Amino acid sequence: MSIFHEFDCPRNLYEKLTRDNLRLAEEYSGDNIFSFSATIVHLQPWIKNSPLDSSETVRRLLRKVSRHPYVKICKDITTAKCYFKLELCDTGGALLHVRDEQIDVDDFRHDLVHLFDNFFKQK
């Protein structure tokens, strides 16, 4: 019996984002940060190139996403415009070091997933 993993619409990539988010919550690692960031970056063109693009709701979402500073960090990480370090803290959390910024990883992932949650929960 064959099993297929199909990616043919933005929702598929959003679902991947939720899985990446869970992985990152379970294990702070550079691999998980990079995968999460790559999914964030690639979700935008999937939405933009979908039939949904004509709605005002989608245009507002894409404007909001494109202006978010964490999305810009994701783009820079995945295109090697900047490098990052992941600091595992004694408290059990983690800090993402990018340029001169230190960002709590949980805040980073929550803020980014929240950008898309409302849109996909309505659809």
By three-state DSSP, how is residue 100 classified?
A: coil
CA dist 62 to 12, 30, 115, Å?
17, 27, 10
CB-facing half-sphere around the CA of 122: CA atoms within 13 A:
8
The domain ranges of the chain are 10-80+106-122
Q: Which helix (H) or strand (E) holds 102?
A: strand 101-104
DSSP designation for 81 = S
Burial letters for 14-27: b for 16+ Cβ neighbours within 10 Å, e otherwise? Answer: bebbeebbeebeee
21-44: pLDDT as tens digits: 999 999 999 999 999 999 999 999
What residue has token string 């980014």? Answer: 112
CA dist 73 to 33, 90, 98, Å?
11, 25, 8
Whether pLDDT at 53 is above 70? no
72-92: pLDDT as tens digits: 999 999 998 889 999 999 999
Q: Is the overall model pTM greater than 0.75, yes or no? A: yes
For position 30, what pLDDT does the model report?
95
